[in-house]
Structure 1
């Protein structure tokens, strides 16, 4: 997906580059191919994000002169045939599909060499308009020896092309499209099954939307989107980032289903702007969306309203917690951002380009909105936009490589960063999956985990500086759990570090910020180490439960030079193959996030289904079932395992987050050591477990009280099927943290309702983690 960004005066933050005028941006991950429209005269810059990987660039036209005729900067790159560029057969197939034709005569540029550093660019000007394709080749053997690579493509557009090229590529077959000029509104009809895409052309421009059911209008009755009904049916309160999955009318009839949203921040509870609203602020006669909607609806016999309810797309608003007043600021939308919805009935719709220039909501400068209508047969999947970092191009949530198998077993998914992950499975449900992990085995798609390879002669020095454990003690085929802290001792990320070779490590973690932090530190210290992103190319499964080792014995093959399955100790790993020496390769780790005996498997996405099928077939006699995220949450809380945004984050250091066991003070130095050492001697808060008296589960953020005084906060809570009551992890004052201390969890206002709780040690079960070490 492309995002065009516009300049704003006075911006001084580190992200000022995001707002360069007339620039398209796309990121190309390891093993991926991106397709980009480029007008004649545009300047294309391809920049190394990771360093040390190649990029291959070709154009839709098989004319070698299309690319690189005017090289502005960077190493010379010869035009070469595609079949000599080192792509594997699957990458060739992906590129063939992207180009829409055979590649027999395709030529392109193979740029960057293995010594290219992160941040280096190859820049050229396009002599003619073309669709170009940028691919990141995969290095064979990256599973065992390390690999990865990513590139950023930035296209500086000629001013004459900027307004049109900022529009995203069509999502399907377009039936009709038009531009809504700023300060106006347009009514239009949607047939059942058709899609409407509402696009913010220049960014930070709000668009009010309303829809009437045609069948009711034909009977002289107005039935339109009702916010109260929609909120009730979606079981979701206002306000919230994003939109409801469906919008209903007053008869509880579904009118529209949201299919894609690249912004994730809209207003679905306030009115469109009104004449009265402007008059009361001293702007009589100001254009307003409510009057514009009435004028646009008039030809359909729809009555005028002084104030129209509406879905305020791209409107950034919220309810202030202090006084519950509605507040707003500039929109989050960037040029080319959009919302796509599918009509579930024949509709008469209206869209506006909001004229408000007296508030920040339109960036103080109202602009245009673009509308596209797609035919019913178009395939527009459910997706929302995700950015690991503010400067990244948006990614639409995609299905993982295991989706062809999991989708046959469930339709319940939740968003995990840039992927849809199963929440639970239809045949079992979360509780049955929980018990399967306790008594037999479960298989879970964990591909949302981030994987980075740190390679180079200074890899050890970089990791020693950034991690809380002693990397120098780590042998090949071994790993450990570690933290990455800032100078205050707050945990930036946690993860498992594995040593692949003497100068190659794999960091499996929760956040892409890890890679940014490592690269920044390598540059600041002048270290020769590369941080390579494996992106979506490496996927992973968690096989957990007491039967997991027995299942693996049926399918795992290891070479004599690698550790055998039965010799793997906790946090050890080996390189294995499925069934025999010719089977697909995977990295097999003795690790997991359930507190049970378990393993994790990391493999190439192209081998994902073969490995899933092999494990499920071998595990069927042992009672193996797939598991989703809901069961995992029960298991990890019972096991006292912490996650970002709950147990740790910027408001607590590692010691207060219950992670002191992962801090090695015997190391002479690492980022955050001084703060952690100081805080360890004077810790004011402690992470503890709570046994609740009943089944009611406390929520993250609930206060913990002794009498009238709040002494702590709930970080995570769940119902424990094994213990038969609710449990929670909580951060509380050390004076109240002794095991057996009786506390209360405050509900409602914290005082009107209390849940009795007793402090216990973590983890709740298996305190010596004997099951995981078995």
Structure 2
């Protein structure tokens, strides 16, 4: 149990060798139960960490050198990966596919680095031979009633030689070869042709380097017409009035027809359609004759008969712009890191031109222009849509994943949104948000909530850690019960909210929205010297919410529970039970009486390998009851009516639980022990803080998050969330209002336009709007 403290302490001591001239570095996350391959050349360094301080690393080396055998001779032989391969699970098949792709035949040296031995660092001898290693975050599947999940590894490869650039993200082990690769030297540009359906990967080789991009319709060029990317057309189709940082999902030409689609992006910070740098920009800055992207474009396009221009409108990949409220544009060093990329797909035959921007007179390229690398993949390749996110600034990018239920939800809709690293449906074809909402309020509905983060907190000091980290009094929580709580930082601002399940005396499951919650718990455990293990189980537990007046009747027909567990019929609000799907030999499940809709409802938790079977059983049983799937738009309507809060709207790290409307999660009188944020929350009485209340508007107009709330001329609050209620027939808003005006019956106005020109009157009410006594959810 002390491995977490030892591992995190050792991690802080992991520093590069000051004698090594390590120009290039790549970091690779190894996801739980998966593997990567690393080729170390003479002089390269390899570092392996376990961010959770509990995950072993198993290493396969088919042709071990003497130096490698000497380095690992003290470690035991690998055995967990073999157990995983023989388990017959989905993770076993995925790992087997990877090993087969890399030609692993089972011969060679297998080594296990225990978690206590990590972080570990080794240099391939300068006079030695290259070494190819397979690094595995091995582990067995976690059952719903177990409390240890395989974790991630972080691998760092450092070299004096350039390292291979990352390929586009693909869940398939086999990666197609690029049709064409072009290295663009710094301060230059290259033109190239792309066929319809082909994929264009534009990579920043060393980081902080911009690449301007233009595309022409090739067929139109042959007919003498220059149809190119058009800023106004693209913004209009996207519903944006002004340029803004970021990228559009589709880029159009002057005829408002799509030229390109954005498929993957590991940066998230670009500029769409300011001019590529021009000679005038450098002349006006006093750098006369300085080379520019526009000049380089003119040279590259001359052979195609395209007339030069004084300035080319372009997509400025990796260019870090920001827009002031007044519309003024500023810029700073790019966010891109070595190997970051964007992946585009051509909708038509194109002539493209890309630059490695020459700007060295400001931070646009980190003051030092470097190279850009292009790959063109054939149309037959398959790459999923994905965006990058990071839980910590310094960690490698993680790409958007489908949930285990995605094969079923994607068969019902093409409308998906990225939510905390996963794709979730926004609404379903044939239903729509209102029909989905009504199904939940009147019958029964099912929704995929698998992106919720799950953390297993176990060990002798598990209760003590959670008592310190959460506002709720964890010591009062019974085994089999669930409690909703806030997690605060020392200022009292909320890090996250979530539900805590007590599986045993020192065994808990924290289910929340933000993956950073797990990092915070680990840091707190280390600081307090507590004997506790925190392992993330998000990839081992996916979940469906089954909500609505008929949800109990539906699940009673599906879920078998043993005598030692509570039946679905008798399961109390905020409690959970363990059972199986359709009989004692069925799929193991955890079922909790929880939800996010304000209706009678349950959540069904299963291993991802069983997700499709669970969905199919619930869907088949629900169809005679009028079941509908629910997307994020309908869920937003449901939770606002129920007065339930959402991160980024009702709370953020600067919002305390009182201002977020969940002051009931802070039992200052009945929880005598200290917890993080207590002193800050005690400093100001709850009655003196802003309050979250409901506002029922008298207007049919829609209001939006961020709209000001006024008493006469003066602002007294702000709208945090709003919706139009189909059943109540009114516009409803959650509002944060100053305590002097926070009384039910108080009349206030939402100010739009400049806050004065348009006023929408309304009346404050106590929450929730729907089922004020919460009789339905408790029924």
Smaller-chain TM-score range?
A: over 0.9
Counterpart position of 1:78 = 77
Q: Deviations over 1:8-53 (max 9, x none)?
A: xxxxx99999xx9532212233333344454454332222222333
Q: Deviations over 1:365-408 (max 9, x none)?
A: 11000011111111122111111221222111121111111111
User: Is 1:676 matched up with 2:677?
Assistant: no
Aligned pair partner of 1:219 in 217, 223, 239: 223
Counterpart position of 1:6 = none
Counterpart position of 1:524 = 527
Contact 1:64/1:79 (8 A) holds in 2: no
Counterpart position of 1:696 = 701
Counterpart position of 2:778 = 773
Contact 1:578/1:584 (8 A) holds in 2: yes
Contact 2:141/2:540 (8 A) holds in 1: no
1:610 aligned counterpart, secondary structure? helix
Contact 2:44/2:157 (8 A) holds in 1: yes
1:675 aligned counterpart, secondary structure? helix
2:272 aligned counterpart, secondary structure? coil
Contact 2:448/2:543 (8 A) holds in 1: yes
Instruction: Please state how far the C-alpha of 1:218 moved relative to its aligned partner.
Output: 1.2
Aligned pair partner of 1:608 in 598, 606, 611: 611
User: Is 1:468 matched up with 2:471?
Assistant: yes
> Residues 754, 605 of structure 1: CA spacing in aligned structure 2 closer, same or farther, 3 A cutoff?
same
2:313 aligned counterpart, secondary structure? coil
Deviates more, 1:81-90 or 1:356-365: 81-90
Counterpart position of 2:595 = 592
Q: Which stretches in structure 1 are left out of the alignment for 5+ residues?
A: 1-12
Deviates more, 1:615-624 or 1:22-31: 22-31
Contact 1:167/1:201 (8 A) holds in 2: no
| TM superposition score normalised by structure 2 | 0.92
| TM superposition score normalised by structure 1 | 0.93
Counterpart position of 1:63 = 63
Aligned pair partner of 2:283 in 260, 274, 279: 279
Contact 2:709/2:719 (8 A) holds in 1: yes
Deviates more, 1:619-628 or 1:205-214: 619-628
2:684 aligned counterpart, secondary structure? helix
Instruction: Please state how far the C-alpha of 1:277 moved relative to its aligned partner.
Output: 0.6
The CA distance in 2 between the partners of 1:570 and 1:134, in whole Å, is: 44
The CA distance in 1 between the partners of 2:699 and 2:584, in whole Å, is: 53
Counterpart position of 1:343 = 346
Counterpart position of 2:154 = 153
The equivalences for 1:183-262 within 5 A come to 183-262=187-266
1:251 aligned counterpart, secondary structure? coil
Instruction: Please state how far the C-alpha of 1:187 moved relative to its aligned partner.
Output: 0.6
The CA distance in 2 between the partners of 1:657 and 1:71, in whole Å, is: 54
Aligned pair partner of 1:365 in 345, 364, 368: 368
Counterpart position of 1:43 = 45
1:277 aligned counterpart, secondary structure? helix
The CA distance in 1 between the partners of 2:67 and 2:708, in whole Å, is: 61
Aligned pair partner of 1:619 in 619, 622, 638: 622
Instruction: Please state how far the C-alpha of 1:93 moved relative to its aligned partner.
Output: 1.3
Instruction: Please state how far the C-alpha of 1:143 moved relative to its aligned partner.
Output: 1.6
The CA distance in 2 between the partners of 1:737 and 1:664, in whole Å, is: 21
Contact 1:205/1:367 (8 A) holds in 2: yes
Counterpart position of 2:329 = 326
> Residues 150, 42 of structure 1: CA spacing in aligned structure 2 closer, same or farther, 3 A cutoff?
farther
The CA distance in 1 between the partners of 2:435 and 2:81, in whole Å, is: 51
2:479 aligned counterpart, secondary structure? coil
Q: Deviations over 1:40-97 (max 9, x none)?
A: 54332222222333333325xx33559942538x962325695356762233311121
Instruction: Please state how far the C-alpha of 1:152 moved relative to its aligned partner.
Output: 2.9
Counterpart position of 1:4 = none
Q: Which stretches in structure 2 are left out of the alignment for 5+ residues?
A: 1-11, 17-21
Contact 1:168/1:336 (8 A) holds in 2: no
> Residues 79, 499 of structure 1: CA spacing in aligned structure 2 closer, same or farther, 3 A cutoff?
closer
Q: Deviations over 1:600-631 (max 9, x none)?
A: 11211111111111111111211112111110
The CA distance in 2 between the partners of 1:58 and 1:16, in whole Å, is: 25
The CA distance in 2 between the partners of 1:449 and 1:75, in whole Å, is: 40
The CA distance in 1 between the partners of 2:15 and 2:352, in whole Å, is: 37
The CA distance in 2 between the partners of 1:526 and 1:348, in whole Å, is: 61
Contact 1:86/1:137 (8 A) holds in 2: no
Counterpart position of 2:92 = 92
Counterpart position of 2:33 = 31
Contact 1:176/1:372 (8 A) holds in 2: yes
The CA distance in 2 between the partners of 1:108 and 1:568, in whole Å, is: 52
Counterpart position of 1:746 = 751
Counterpart position of 1:438 = 441
The CA distance in 1 between the partners of 2:136 and 2:573, in whole Å, is: 38
Counterpart position of 1:294 = 298
> Residues 445, 204 of structure 1: CA spacing in aligned structure 2 closer, same or farther, 3 A cutoff?
same
Instruction: Please state how far the C-alpha of 1:168 moved relative to its aligned partner.
Output: 6.4
The CA distance in 1 between the partners of 2:695 and 2:141, in whole Å, is: 49
Q: Deviations over 1:101-140 (max 9, x none)?
A: 5766256645355xx45x9323344565465443333445
2:732 aligned counterpart, secondary structure? strand
Contact 2:215/2:228 (8 A) holds in 1: yes
Counterpart position of 1:566 = 569
Instruction: Please state how far the C-alpha of 1:491 moved relative to its aligned partner.
Output: 0.9
The CA RMSD measured in Å over matched residues stands at: 2.4
Counterpart position of 1:5 = none
Instruction: Please state how far the C-alpha of 1:160 moved relative to its aligned partner.
Output: 1.8
Aligned pair partner of 2:391 in 378, 382, 388: 388
Deviates more, 1:659-668 or 1:347-356: 659-668
2:519 aligned counterpart, secondary structure? helix
1:145 aligned counterpart, secondary structure? coil
The equivalences for 1:472-511 within 5 A come to 472-511=475-514
The CA distance in 1 between the partners of 2:495 and 2:81, in whole Å, is: 41
Aligned pair partner of 2:553 in 545, 550, 555: 550
1:269 aligned counterpart, secondary structure? strand
Deviates more, 1:94-103 or 1:180-189: 94-103
Counterpart position of 1:732 = 737
